[in-house]
Chains A and B, each alone.
Chain A
Amino acid sequence: MSTQQAEPESQEAPEDPAMKGAESPAAEEQKGGGMVDEHAEKAAELEGETVHIKVFRYDPEVEGKQEPRFDDFHVPFEKGMTVLDSVMYARDEYDSSLTFRHSCRQAVCGSDAFFVNGKQRLGCKTQISDLEQPVRIEPLPHQEVVKDLVVDMDHFYDQMHTVEPYFQDEDTPPVDDLEEQRQSQENREKIKMSSRCIWCGACMSSCNIAAGDNEYLGPAAINKAYKFAMDDREGEEIKEHRLRILEQEHGVWRCQTQFSCTEVCPKDIPLTEHIQELKREAVKKNLKFW
């Protein structure tokens, strides 16, 4: 199995409908009736157990794929197979034009968040045996689809950068005085979960409010801000500056505590909890000046 990364720009290969295990609407039409039998036949052709996946297809540059559709693939099942493994198999064996992002395959790079059976999940972290078949694999909702499972992440990254996701210090001390900035163990524990974010965008895609309000910072960006706002090593002034970004109209107040983000986060970050804590921080800060 190839391990190279599939980029949106990857080469276009002609589809071969005759390949075993792959089905596309065009191929089905040619063969005519008796669909149920053919399904069974195809499954039998492949030795052993197979997994039926339905993958969202769209390609603005290929005629016939400009209208989104679902393609069916029957992939031989292996113990421990993930959703990512299944689409990689489909790409390598059936249709090399099938496009999706992936890199590390171990839930660290955050490139392969898909909408699997109606829920945002990380492809490489989701066991296919846990899912009901056929497994429906779609690109993340509420983001523009560039091709197949690849969505435009620009807006997500923009929101992430809005919260200035880097450590800041009021005055940088002279080079000679620079020393290691130690963090207390308790403080490290406090921000531990928030630091696990891998920028996969699953939370933002699951958020009802972010879907309706493009300016809403979204769970990932707010969590990122939490990581720094709660870090004791940053000064009071910087913390206030961070809270000011968060308490703008399209900041933390927009969260309606539906817990969608918390439920889909592949790194189990308690996103809603962090957003709520920041709301309380903002209120407390403002009360002080009354």
Chain B
Amino acid sequence: MSQSYNRGLIEDFGRWKEFSAGMWAWIFHKFTGWMLIGYLFTHIAVLSTSISAAGESTDVIEAQNDIYSTTLQGLEGLFLIRLLEIGLLAVAVFHILNGLRLLMVDLGIGLESQDKSFYASLVLTGAITVASVPTFLTGVGI
């Protein structure tokens, strides 16, 4: 062949309207996965304040004035943190539900309804997230 034409990755995001349920599930699962592992690193970093807190006196700890308690409660007092927590919940719930769907797929169960189970994961994620908003926003002002 003298010459040919490489069209490259023509199924890139420019064609997102043509993506199927399975492709969206893959993209969302990957995206939420990145967020969760990123969060795990931050989570352990914040909890590391317990290393100093453990050295503080019993009185300080009982009064919740230790560095661990003040850091966590301080963060929880921020409206932005609460919003991010709701986002985290949504991300975790989707990753769990779609993860269950993928485990079923790996076990060869219900492959014909893989698209429906993806939509179900989305709807359930939305419902659980919305239902959790009051709990996540208790005791915080904007």
Report whether chain A binds chain B. Answer: yes
B interface residue count range (under 10 / 10 to 19 / 20 to 34 / 35 or more): 20 to 34
| Nearest CB of A to B45, in Å | 31
| Chain A residues with a Cβ closer than 8 Å to the other chain, count | 30
B130 interface residue, CB < 8 Å from A?
A: no
The interface bits of chain A over 272-288 (1 if a CB of B lies within 8 angstroms of the residue's CB, else 0) are: 11001101100000000
> Is B26 a contact of A256 with CB atoms below 8 Å?
yes
B99 interface residue, CB < 8 Å from A?
A: no
CA distance A211 to B106 in the complex (A): 22
| Nearest CB of A to B133, in Å | 32
> Is A259 a contact of B114 with CB atoms below 8 Å?
yes
Partner of A257, one of B1, B6, B22: B22
> Is A272 a contact of B18 with CB atoms below 8 Å?
no
Partner of B26, one of A58, A60, A208, A263: A208
Contacts of B41 in A (CB 8 A): none
> Is B18 a contact of A119 with CB atoms below 8 Å?
yes
Contacts of B102 in A (CB 8 A): 257
Quick one: which of A208, A211, A259 has the most chain B CB within 10 A?
Answer: A259
A16 interface residue, CB < 8 Å from B?
A: no
> Is A152 a contact of B1 with CB atoms below 8 Å?
yes
> Is B22 a contact of A141 with CB atoms below 8 Å?
no
B23 interface residue, CB < 8 Å from A?
A: yes
CA distance A257 to B23 in the complex (A): 9
Contacts of A152 in B (CB 8 A): 1, 4
Quick one: which of A118, A119, A280 has the most chain B CB within 10 A?
Answer: A118
| Nearest CB of A to B17, in Å | 8
Contacts of B115 in A (CB 8 A): 259
> Is B22 a contact of A145 with CB atoms below 8 Å?
no
CA distance A247 to B17 in the complex (A): 34
CA distance A279 to B102 in the complex (A): 14
Contacts of A211 in B (CB 8 A): 9, 11
| Nearest CB of A to B34, in Å | 15
CA distance A58 to B3 in the complex (A): 11
The interface bits of chain B over 17-42 (1 if a CB of A lies within 8 angstroms of the residue's CB, else 0) are: 11011110110000000000000000
CA distance A256 to B105 in the complex (A): 10
The interface bits of chain B over 76-101 (1 if a CB of A lies within 8 angstroms of the residue's CB, else 0) are: 00000000000000000000000000
> Is A208 a contact of B11 with CB atoms below 8 Å?
yes
> Given contacts A60-B2, A211-B9, are A276 and B23 in contact (CB under 8 A)?
no
B10 interface residue, CB < 8 Å from A?
A: yes
| Nearest CB of A to B44, in Å | 28
Which B residue sits closest to A279, measured CB to CB? B106
> Is A145 a contact of B23 with CB atoms below 8 Å?
no
Partner of B108, one of A256, A258, A259, A273: A273
Contacts of A270 in B (CB 8 A): 111
Contacts of B111 in A (CB 8 A): 262, 270, 272-273, 276
**A141-B10, A142-B11, A260-B23 known, 17 other contacts, Cβ within 8 Å:** A58-B5, A60-B3, A60-B5, A61-B2, A68-B7, A118-B15, A142-B10, A145-B4, A146-B1, A152-B4, A257-B114, A258-B23, A258-B26, A259-B22, A259-B114, A276-B105, A280-B107
- Give residues in A with beta carbon < 8 Å to B: 58, 60-61, 68, 118-119, 139, 141-142, 144-146, 152, 208, 211-212, 256-260, 262-263, 270, 272-273, 276-277, 279-280
